[in-house]
């Protein structure tokens, strides 16, 4: 029963995130927000990751029972993101000054609610891990299958939108035609224009409902009391930061920043690109969820790959996966090939990000290991995506051919090139000690 509850917790935790993230990058420009406003709205999640590094690790899990903190966060955060369903974009399309953009009522409302949600949601990512580790009898063996339900939750959030974003007015009444013909029409008739914009707002309502459900469900989770701190943890992240003086760790830190920025670039540009190559609007989130399905399969073989190929080769393959995928997007924008190459997203995540987490656990001293994980997590959820979220909206205006068309060739050459640079850095300069004991001696 405990494992069932923890699995359901993970399912809902990542269902919330997976419900709104893939479609927000196309939704905000469609509402009429400017590049500055879009960048700031998207940056709320990354700012929350910066705050969460200290809040969740140094305050929340040492002050509150974890399940009660989870319930409070998801109740308030769920109401905040659910309210975005009713918000519209700016009434004006022209802003004479930057201050006019920042003080626009529609922007302030959207930004404020998204900030509230992000500040409350991001710490729960680590809090749910803490609850799981504290209540599993054998975390090393049992955590993987429990956390897997988080990925399943992300995938599950994508598929209902095939039908939510369908233009039912253009679909024959059920029973008036053959079932195969009816199903084909239902699956292949997306909404368009204002109707599609309005329907995409439902992503926030779905996230809000799931969040409130998790808030209530959290009260049934096993009691997980606050952790007792020793008083030295607050400076552990500084000790972890000092270890970057070792070249192999500094290189990994730089490459993680690049890869995190490129990873977010995928989410920013892919929804619009998929529509551009002919993917119906109601199929965008399911197509992008192919990456999460591949992630499940890739994680299953990650241990074997690391054992046979080692840290550096595995990470390089993960980074080059981005270059290959964006290369296909730029040079071979064929719909079927573009859909198929999304499978690389899961390989990129498992072979690089998951490998980085395992590597940090192996190579950092025990007393700063948790803070080192937080430091790299700061790059993956905070600094790297923040760089993309603030810069990519301006690229959208630079690479526009006209009001409708985009120069996707140039758009995707940038992350492909950045991924190649990151892979070369790993190949030439990432030389960790050959064993864990040698690593502890060198950085201890």
Query: What CATH number corresponds to the domain at position 52?
Result: 1.20.1250.20
State whether 209 and 313 are in the same domain.
no
Number of domains in the chain: 2
Buried (b) or exposed (e) across 175-212, using 16+ Cβ within 10 A?
A: eeeeeeebeebbbebbbeeeebbebbbbbbbbbbbbbb
Decide: residue 148, CB within 10 A, 0-12 exposed, 13-18 middle, 19+ buried: middle
128 CB-near residues (< 8 Å, 6+ apart): 9, 10, 13, 70
State whether 192 and 341 are in the same domain.
no
Instruction: State residue 235's pLDDT score.
Output: 58
State whether 49 and 190 are in the same domain.
yes
Give me the mean pLDDT over the 322-334 stretch. 95
The tens digit of pLDDT for each residue in 252-282 reads 999 999 999 999 999 999 999 999 999 988 8
What is d(CA 417, CA 425) in angstroms, rounded to the nearest whole number?
Answer: 13
The alpha carbon of residue 297 and the mean position of all alpha carbons in its chain are separated, in whole angstroms, by 18
Give me the mean pLDDT over the 427-440 stretch. 75
State whether 181 and 319 are in the same domain.
no
Instruction: State residue 231's pLDDT score.
Output: 52
- Evaluate if residue 53 carries a pLDDT over 80: no
Domain closes at, from 207, 229, 251: 229
State whether 300 and 329 are in the same domain.
yes
Instruction: State residue 123's pLDDT score.
Output: 86
Instruction: State residue 439's pLDDT score.
Output: 55
The vertex-432 CA angle with 431 and 435, nearest 5°, equals 135
Among candidates 379, 240, 251, which has minimal Cα distance to 316? 251
Instruction: State residue 236's pLDDT score.
Output: 58
State whether 93 and 118 are in the same domain.
yes
State whether 352 and 374 are in the same domain.
yes
- Evaluate if residue 364 carries a pLDDT over 80: no
- Evaluate if residue 409 carries a pLDDT over 70: yes
More confident residue, 313 or 126: 313
Least confident of 87-101, 102-116, 169-183, 224-238: 224-238
Give me the mean pLDDT over the 110-128 stretch. 92
Instruction: State residue 7's pLDDT score.
Output: 93
| Torsions phi, psi for 89 (to 5 deg) | -85, 180
Domain closes at, from 229, 257, 285: 229
Instruction: State residue 367's pLDDT score.
Output: 65
State whether 184 and 312 are in the same domain.
no
Instruction: State residue 374's pLDDT score.
Output: 75
Give me the mean pLDDT over the 347-371 stretch. 81
Q: What is the mean pLDDT of the chain?
A: 87
Give the pLDDT band (50/70/90) at residue 61.
low
What is d(CA 350, CA 273) in angstroms, rounded to the nearest whole number?
Answer: 24
Instruction: State residue 132's pLDDT score.
Output: 86
408 CB-near residues (< 8 Å, 6+ apart): 269, 273, 276, 329, 330, 333, 399
State whether 98 and 167 are in the same domain.
yes
Domain closes at, from 229, 252, 267: 229
- Evaluate if residue 129 carries a pLDDT over 90: no
State whether 326 and 424 are in the same domain.
yes
State whether 102 and 214 are in the same domain.
yes
State whether 200 and 239 are in the same domain.
no
Instruction: State residue 269's pLDDT score.
Output: 92
433 CB-near residues (< 8 Å, 6+ apart): 248, 363, 439, 441, 442
Give me the mean pLDDT over the 168-174 stretch. 86
Instruction: State residue 135's pLDDT score.
Output: 85
Q: What is the span of the domain harbouring residue 20?
A: 1-229
- Evaluate if residue 232 carries a pLDDT over 60: no
């Amino acid at each position: 029963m405990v494992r069932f509850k923890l699995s359901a917790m993970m399912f809902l935790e990542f269902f919330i995130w997976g419900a709104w993230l893939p479609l927000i990058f196309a939704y905000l420009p469609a509402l009429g927000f400017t590049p500055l406003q879009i960048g700031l709205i998207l940056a709320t999640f990354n700012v929350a990751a910066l705050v969460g590094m200290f809040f969740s690790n140094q305050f929340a899990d040492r002050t509150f029972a974890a399940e009660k903190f989870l319930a409070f966060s998801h109740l308030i955060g769920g109401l905040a993101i659910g309210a975005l369903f009713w918000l519209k974009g700016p009434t004006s399309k022209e802003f004479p000054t930057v201050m006019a953009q920042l003080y626009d009522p529609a922007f302030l409302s959207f930004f404020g609610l998204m900030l509230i949600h992000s500040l409350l949601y991001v710490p729960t990512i680590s809090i749910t891990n803490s609850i799981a580790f504290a209540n599993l009898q054998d975390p090393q063996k049992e955590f993987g299958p429990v956390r897997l339900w988080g990925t399943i939750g992300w995938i599950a959030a994508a598929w209902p939108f095939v039908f939510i974003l369908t233009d039912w007015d253009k679909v024959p009444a059920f029973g008036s035609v053959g079932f195969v013909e009816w199903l084909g029409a239902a699956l292949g008739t997306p909404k368009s224009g204002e109707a599609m914009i309005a329907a995409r707002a439902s992503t926030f309502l779905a996230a809000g409902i799931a969040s409130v459900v998790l808030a209530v469900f959290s009260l049934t989770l096993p009691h997980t009391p606050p952790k007792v701190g020793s008083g030295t943890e607050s400076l552990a992240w500084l000790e972890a930061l000092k270890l970057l003086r070792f070249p192999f760790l500094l290189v990994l830190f730089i490459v993680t920043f690049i890869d995190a920025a490129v990873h977010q670039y995928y989410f920013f540009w892919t929804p619009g690109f998929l529509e551009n190559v002919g993917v119906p609007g109601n199929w965008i989130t399911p197509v992008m969820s192919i990456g999460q399905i591949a992630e499940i399969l890739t994680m299953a073989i990650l241990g074997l790959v690391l054992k046979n190929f080692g840290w550096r080769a595995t990470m390089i393959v993960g980074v080059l996966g981005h270059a290959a995928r964006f290369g296909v997007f730029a040079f071979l924008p064929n719909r079927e090939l573009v859909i198929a190459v999304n499978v690389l997203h899961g390989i990129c995540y498992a072979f690089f990000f998951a490998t980085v987490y395992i590597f940090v656990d192996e190579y950092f001293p025990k007393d700063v290991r948790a803070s080192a994980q937080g430091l790299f997590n700061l790059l993956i959820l905070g600094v790297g995506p923040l760089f993309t979220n603030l810069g990519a909206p301006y690229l959208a205006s630079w690479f526009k051919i006209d009001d409708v068309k985009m120069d996707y060739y140039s758009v995707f050459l940038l992350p492909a090139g950045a991924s190649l640079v990151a892979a070369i850095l790993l190949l030439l300069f990432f030389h960790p000690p050959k064993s864990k004991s040698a690593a502890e001696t060198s950085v201890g």
